[in-house]
């Protein structure tokens, strides 16, 4: 069998259908999110808490890391490291979500969605860990 991003015989067993689907969700989440940092930089900068210096740099650097992490998910040899990086990156951007929740009047987003964003963040963290840190590579 020819090695592919989701099956590398030398690295272990192929991914289950559910893990493969989870990995696809994580990949798309960070690919689209990473691209958004460059396509909608000004909009992304608005959610950076004021205590973070250089919001443009923060947005662009986090966008680069999101794209690198998404790319790293494609190969079994880099998948676990990419998962760890994306997990840590997700934790690092959580203050932006808390800031939006604390200052909802600054954002044109329904408050209910802001409240739901933190549990969604927890679910994303779980999905990253489950789909990238498992025994399959």
Q: Picking from 3-7, 30-34, 65-69, 104-108, which range would have the lowest pLDDT averaged per residue?
A: 3-7
pLDDT at 56: 97
Chain segment 78-126, per-residue pLDDT in tens: 999 999 999 999 999 999 999 999 999 999 999 999 999 999 999 999 9
Look over the chain and give the mean of its residue pLDDT values, rounded to a whole number. 89
Average pLDDT in the 40-59 region? 96
CA distances from 121 to 9, 70, 79, 81, 94 (A): 33, 17, 20, 20, 8
d(Cα 5, Cα 10) in Å, to the nearest integer?
Answer: 12
pLDDT at 17: 87
Q: Label residue 57 by pLDDT band (50, 70, 90).
A: very high
Residue 6 clears pLDDT 60, i.e. is over it: no
């Amino acid at each position: 069998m020819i090695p592919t991003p989701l099956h590398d015989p030398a690295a272990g067993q192929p991914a289950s259908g559910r893990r493969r689907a989870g990995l696809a969700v994580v990949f798309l989440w960070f690919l689209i999110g990473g691209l958004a940092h460059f396509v909608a930089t000004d909009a992304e900068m608005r959610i950076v808490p004021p205590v973070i210096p250089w919001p443009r740099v923060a947005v662009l650097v986090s966008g680069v890391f999101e794209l690198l992490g998404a790319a790293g998910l494609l190969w079994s040899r880099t998948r676990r490291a990419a998962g760890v990086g994306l997990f840590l990156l997700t934790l690092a951007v959580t203050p932006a979500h808390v800031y939006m929740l604390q200052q909802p009047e600054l954002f044109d987003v329904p408050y209910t969605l802001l409240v739901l964003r933190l549990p969604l963040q927890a679910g994303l963290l779980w999905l990253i860990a489950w789909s990238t840190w498992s025994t399959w590579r």
